[in-house]
Structure formats: structure tokens, C-alpha cells
Amino acid sequence: MANPRKWSKARSTKPPDGRIRQSQVVSTFGPGSMLDLVDDAVLVGGLDFWRLKGSGVIVNEPRLLEIVEPLFQRNKWPLSKEEPFRKPPAGDEREASEGCGIQVYEFPRWFVCQNPRCRAMVKANSLERVNQTYRHRCPGVESKPERCVPVRFVAACRRGHLADIDWPWWMHEHAPCDAPQLKLEEGVSADFNDIQVSCTTCGKRRRLVDMTVKDQQHRCGGERPWLGLEAKERCEEKQRLLIRTASNGYFAQTTSAITIPEPESLQRKVRSVWSVLQVATAEVLPAFRNIPNVKEALGDATNEEVLEAITAERENRPEDVPEIRTAEWLQFLSQPEEKPGEMPKDRSELFWARRIARPKGLPSQVERVVLARRLREVQAQVGFTRLEPLTKDLQGRYDLEVELAPLSLHRDWVPVTEMQGEGVLLVLSEEQVHQWEFSEPVLRRTQVLFKAWERWQKHSKSKLPFPGVRLYLLHSLAHLLMTEVALECGYPASSIRERLYCAPHDAAVPMAGILLMTGTTGTEGTLGGLVEEGRRLGRHVSRAWEAARLCSNDPVCAHHDPVGRDDRNLEGAACHSCLFVPECSCERFNQYLDRVLVVPTLGHEDVAFLKTP
């Protein structure tokens, strides 16, 4: 557990204000996220305000660095070459102290009195603190002070900046009031039209919906309170009204790599001892190679080879190795067939997978199934966005042109979580997928999805290319299978995650596969329930096919037009009743989904990849 603590001058023996799981710190509640504790609403501090014991727990995953490093170089953020990944601090449950944990900032600073006759909006520095809660003395009331709660509304922008709304200024921007006394009045619904702020001094009233009108939105002040109270920057974006607990308040941008057995390149070995070799020349290299850790890292490589690797690292030349997901895909496909009674030797094996005999009832479009009894996934958070999530390319990389909100100002590492688990890989027939992609009905559907994607791209300003109809197929099939497998494998749907292996037919290594995986941050891993369901995959595919043919929201769901008037441009026939899964299980925030591409659907019977179960 990581222990969030409010920024204060309290004694070092003060217990933590709350607890969150380490894995949540790298996703849902990372730096810059808003979090509700028992008595407070807080903002999770950046990495500069994390208290690690010593240097913390360092995690090594060279493949992950290949994705993270270019992103940090583009944004000119510091990143260590030798120790770029560390786990969040684990709180000490027995002897909690401020020497280890995560500091949080009280946010927002505006509160609302809970007396229904008062409903005053007051800043925290004008309230009393009684028994860990803020109290307000209502005018004309002699009884004890009333409890206050944090206001539900804050201001944010697309670049991730966050600030308290300046309520007095917003209320009186055209007619200043000498002594504003604000009051929040909420109607019977949560609609912004039913919420208004009034001033009891001058009698002015204003509806909250005014803040959502583009012409009345004000320029962002560039506040970044999770990096420190003075960490402002210039920003030209417009501030937007944000409900503090809304799901679009924080999108952690994470990327991950599965540890696979492969020979380590010389350039990676040089990187592991870069603090020594970064100043190496032909004259001093022989002396440097006598240092024990350098000698162990470089092995039998010649001085000429080492110098070439050092030059490549200085020039930031990319290594001539397969992309991260391509390398994982090739490793899965190269696994031998399973033998009776064969099992991993011990817990030291981080990757262990075998191809199994074709499960009964599996459709011909599925070429093979690979069961992975041991998987180690390292997930890193590289930044975050607000209001709208970012999309990745087919290899899991983010667009380098897109600006992420930083996690720190001075730290040269990123937080990671280590997952030990298992998985089932479903490999589709490349020949049949290729034929399906270029059939006439699918080409027509592709044009519809492409036009909708173009509209989304214009709004999001993404530079990534259209991912192709193959991704929609794999993603939709993955969600259908996750829902079915969760009913029998013993893990809840939120614990099963997808990893898509997708590359077009004309790529150097075409890919069409789905990895369903689950894991835990514990060293013991999982219990094998998901792997065993992989042997019954034929039954799961058949049940998913039957369940997907008719959605409870049909015909509305089946006939959803991604080019229509709503803003769901990245979804075809998809909704919460058929394809949407918990966002922690989905790589792409429940986008790039279309049920009609998988099974015959009302009005789209000729497009399906699986025409029969």
C-alpha cells in the first residue's frame, strides 16, 4: 500500500491520511489525480513529493525503456538510463511515518456548507477545523458550526492543468462586488441548468451552465498544483468546467512490456553501466573494463564493438531489433507444443508458455491457442491527460507530437508496477483475416469507420494513422471473450485485461492475435484459472457469438452511426450492454469497437468475420 499524506508540518509520527494500492498509483490515482479520503478531497502529489526508502525498489525492463525514452526526449524531461523505473513507495502498516509515502495537496480549497438554509461557498482559510472536518458558522445561527464538504466543480484544460474556480470573479466579472457572500443552490437534478451560484450581498445570480459556453470560457492560468504551488506555465487553452469526481478528470497514460527471454544486445549492456561508459574513449576504455560491474556487463565483447555501442547510445540511435509487440508475438509463436504433465520449474521462470492442441469446437478462423502459465508484465506511467484520453499506435507507443502533463519537475525516473500472472493467446488465421478485410461488405464498413475516425482526428489533433478495420475486429472479439471467460474462470471481469497484437498484412510481421491476461503484484502470481479456461475456448467463443448477435439495446445499438451527430466517432455497434468492459481492462478506453465486424448483427449480416459459431 502507498500512504497518501496531506502537505503539512505535522509531526513525523502522524499516521497516513489514507491508503491506496501500489498498482493504483500507476493508473487510477497517479500524480495529478484527484482522490477522496475519508474526510478530505486531495490531489496526489508529483514524484518530487514521493518519499521513498533509500532509492526505492528499482525494476529492470530494457524493452519498456525503448518506448519510454523517445517520449521523454521529445518533451525534454530527465530520464536515467540505468535506473529509469521504480515502484511507488510501500507504506509501513505497523510504523507509519512521513518518511515514506506519497504527499497529497488539499484540493479543491472551496467548500460548501451543508446547512440546507445556508449553502454558503467559503474558502478553506475562512473555515474552522474541528475533528478533521471543516466547519462553517452560519449567519444568524447560534448552534454549533455546520459541516462543510469540498465543492464538486473545478477548472481544467486539455493540457492537464487544474485549478480552483475563482468563484467571486466569475460571479462579478462585469460588476464587481465589494464583499461577495456566495451561495450554491442545486436543483432536483444534477444538470448544470439546475445549479446556480448567488451572491447574498448584491443579489446577482448565475447558472453554472454559463461556464460550459465556449464564448464565455476563460484562458487557462497554467496551474499545476501537483508539481508544487508555484509550478505554473504559460497556456493558451480555454478552461473547462470539470466535475471533480468525473471519469474524464484523469486519464493515466501507461505503457507496458511483457518480459520475454531474448539475448540482451550490447547497446543495452552499455546502457546498464552508462554512468561509467558515457565518458569512455578508446584510450580509457580498457581501464574502465576492469571495473567489476562494467566487466560483468560487457562480457567478451571487443573494445571496437563496445565503442560502436557507446557511439550509438550517445547519438540516440535506435537498436535494430523488432518492435516491442512484434518481439512478444514472435516469442509466443515460437513456443513448442505442450507435453503431458509439463509445468514451469520454479518461480524464477518469468515467462513460460506452450501451444496446446486445438480446443474442441473452435471455429476455423482461429489458427492456434497458446497458454502462458507465467507472465511478467511491467507497466509504467509516462504522463496523463484530462478531459480526453490519448490513443496509442499498434505497437503501444504514444504519438510523440502529443503533449502529456508531466509527473514531476526533477525526478529522472517513472513509476512502474510489476504484475505476475498468466494468459491465453488466441491466434487468428492470417489468410482468413486478410481475405475478410478485402471483401466488398467489409470495405464498405471500413469506409464508414474511416470517415468517423477522420472526424475524431480533426478534433483530437492526433498524428497517428488510421489503425485499420483489423484492430476493430480484434478489439471487439477480445471484449466479447473477456465477458464470457469472466463468468467461469474465477476472476472478475475487471481483473482480466487485453493485449492486442495487430499489424497489417503487408507489414514485415503481420499480426492478428488477442492475449487475455490477469495478474497480481504479489510474487506468487495467480492460480491458473484463466489458463484452464483456454482449453475450453471453443465453448467460450460459441457463447460469445450467441450473446453478441442481439444486444438488449438493439436496434439502436446495431444501427449506431459513427458518423452521426453524437461524439462517439470511434465506436460502431457498441454499448454498455454488449461490448464495453471496465476501463481498467481495456487498452483503448472502450474505443475502436464494432460488434457487426465479429458476428452477424441486425441489419449487418454480411460483414461478420465469424458467420457461424
| pLDDT at res. 143 | 73
Band of residue 548 on the pLDDT scale cut at 50, 70, 90:
very high
pLDDT tens, position by position, 157-188: 988 999 998 888 888 877 778 888 888 888 77
Contact indicator for 253, 404 with CB cutoff of 8 Å:
yes
Residue 6 above 80 pLDDT? no
As a whole number of angstroms, the distance between CA 512 and CA 478 comes to 12
Q: Which of 91-95, 126-130, 384-388, 443-447 has the lowest mean pLDDT?
A: 91-95
- For residue 523, pLDDT over 60 is answered with no
Work out the burial of residue 527: count CB atoms within 10 Å of its CB; fewer than 13 is exposed, 13-18 middle, 19 or more buried.
middle
Q: Which amino acid is at 59?
A: V
Q: Is 345 exposed, middle or buried (0-12, 13-18, 19+ CB in 10 A)?
A: exposed
What's the pLDDT score for residue 544?
93
Nearest to 382 by CA among 85, 22, 163: 85
Give pLDDT, residue 328.
92
Give me the pLDDT at residue 448, please: 94
Round to whole Å and give the CA distance between 277 and 269. Answer: 11
Strands (E), 441-544: 497-503, 511-520
Q: Which of 13-27, 250-264, 469-483 has the lowest mean pLDDT?
A: 13-27
| Residue 10: pLDDT band with limits 50, 70, 90 | very low
**Cell 520454479 appears where?**
346
pLDDT tens column, 224-270: 999 988 888 898 888 898 888 888 889 888 899 998 887 677 887 88
What pLDDT was estimated at residue 9? 44
Exposure of 384 in the CB half-sphere (CA atoms within 13 A): 31
d(CA 202, CA 187): 22
Q: Residue 60: is its pLDDT beyond 70? A: yes
How far is the C-alpha of 213 from the C-alpha of 187, rounded, in Å?
20
The CA dihedral of 464, 468, 473, 478, to the nearest 10 degrees, is -20
Mean pLDDT in residue range 183-197 = 80
Residues 6+ apart with CB under 8 A from 458: none
pLDDT value at 528 more than 70: no
| pLDDT tens track for 395-415 | 888 877 777 889 999 899 999
Q: How confident is the model at residue 14 (pLDDT cuts 50, 70, 90)?
A: low
Average pLDDT across the chain, whole number: 86
Instruction: Compare 574 and 216 and report the one with higher pLDDT.
Output: 574
Report the pLDDT value the prediction gives residue 191, as an integer from 0 to 100: 74
Q: Among residues of the chain, what percentage have pLDDT more than 70?
A: 93
DSSP state of 124: G
- What letter does residue 573 receive in the DSSP assignment? S
C-alpha to C-alpha distance for 170 and 156, rounded to whole angstroms: 15
Would you state the pLDDT for residue 11? Answer: 44
Largest CA distance in the chain: 86
pLDDT at 522: 59
- Is the pLDDT at 525 greater than 60? The verdict is no
Instruction: Give yes or no for residue 611 having a pLDDT over 60.
Output: yes
- Per-residue pLDDT, 509: 92
Q: Which is higher by pLDDT, 119 or 428?
A: 428
Report the candidate in 373, 366, 423 with the shortest Cα–Cα distance to residue 538. Answer: 366
How much of the chain is in helix, strand and coil states, percent to nearest 5? 25, 25, 50
Q: Name residues whose C-beta falls within 8 Å of residue 23's C-beta, 6 or more positions apart in sequence.
A: 417, 419, 521
pTM: predicted TM-score of the whole model, two decimal places: 0.82
